[in-house]
Structure 1
């Protein structure tokens, strides 16, 4: 998993509450077990018109936000079904950080497993970042995970909280497999000892 240390990029405003996982990646795209290739279908029903052409009014189709790496959105983001394809699609599009007042628990946990930093802030602070994001591509924000700080385009900073263990995993690029491999020497030692003590197994 790619490490997350500090991110500087464009933030896209999506001022909508209760964005569920079916809106993030509709069910017809869940047939794959690959994490790549889903970015093109992120927010599919909002990004594309019935004829398959892009909806020019959707934020990620606007020239200023096509390369957005941060998404600023509303309360209860990622609600609905527990599909891990939702953070897969977000990451594949290129978004590494989400800022919202709150998240659905399963989606929130899945973000960390896929190298995405979901930041929860009070609504009034989300409003400030949203207002900054609405300035377009000239307004770049910085997210410093080590310092736990967001710096907006005008220099104002906002601190954020994160669980220390999840912070450690993101800073070091550790998903569940990576965490297990960190214990590789201990696992090898146990297997050797077990085999010697019980050769008949």
Structure 2
């Protein structure tokens, strides 16, 4: 997993509400356990026409959305079933951050654990971003701010442990393994204290 510190990109906007995980990555593509290649199936039923060509009506197929790594999505993004393939598909597609006023809890947890920044905004902030697609945004995870083109900033909250893992570029297991020496030292102190009959 790559470290996440700063994301700078134009914004792509999907105004639709209640975009569920099956719409992000249809169930028929869940047979793989690897992340690579899932990007081509991201939003598959929405993104492509029956003949396999790009659907010109799909917002992310518009020229202004090409290459954008910040997605501003409608309310209740990522609802539905729990599947890590959803953030995997978005990341492989090129999306590094999802912004909305409401993001499903399980999706947000899966996203943060897999290196996809999922940010919940206020209603007013979210509406403003929906109304201004294609603007340049800079997300700084260290300061927990989003810089706007006019010099304004939006502050956002994020779980402290998830933030630390993203900054270090590790998942929960990687976080623990990086501190194995500290864990071993604690266990040794605890064992010594137990044998001496005192609390660790």
- TM-score (normalizing by structure 2): 0.89
- Give 1:188 deviation, angstroms: 5.6
- Give 1:122 deviation, angstroms: 1.3
Mapped pair 1:169 → 2:165: yes
Report the equivalent of 2:141: 145
Which 5+ residue runs of structure 2 have no aligned equivalent?
Answer: 192-200
User: 42-51 or 151-160: which moved more?
Assistant: 151-160
- Give 1:177 deviation, angstroms: 2.4
Cα distance between partner residues in 1 of 2:108 and 2:15: 18
Which 5+ residue runs of structure 1 have no aligned equivalent?
Answer: 195-201
Report the equivalent of 1:198: none
Report the equivalent of 2:196: none
Cα distance between partner residues in 1 of 2:33 and 2:73: 27
Mapped pair 1:6 → 2:21: no
- Secondary structure of residue in 2 paired with 1:132: coil
Q: Is the 2:3–2:169 Cα contact (8 Å) retained in structure 1?
A: yes
Q: How many residues align?
A: 189
- Give 1:180 deviation, angstroms: 2.1
Alignment of 1:26-175 (within 5 A): 26-133=26-133, 136=134, 139-175=135-171
Cα distance between partner residues in 1 of 2:105 and 2:153: 26
Q: Is the 2:113–2:162 Cα contact (8 Å) retained in structure 1?
A: no
Q: Is the 1:132–1:153 Cα contact (8 Å) retained in structure 2?
A: no
- Secondary structure of residue in 1 paired with 2:131: helix
Report the equivalent of 1:197: none
User: 169-178 or 21-30: which moved more?
Assistant: 169-178
- CA RMSD in angstroms comes to 1.7
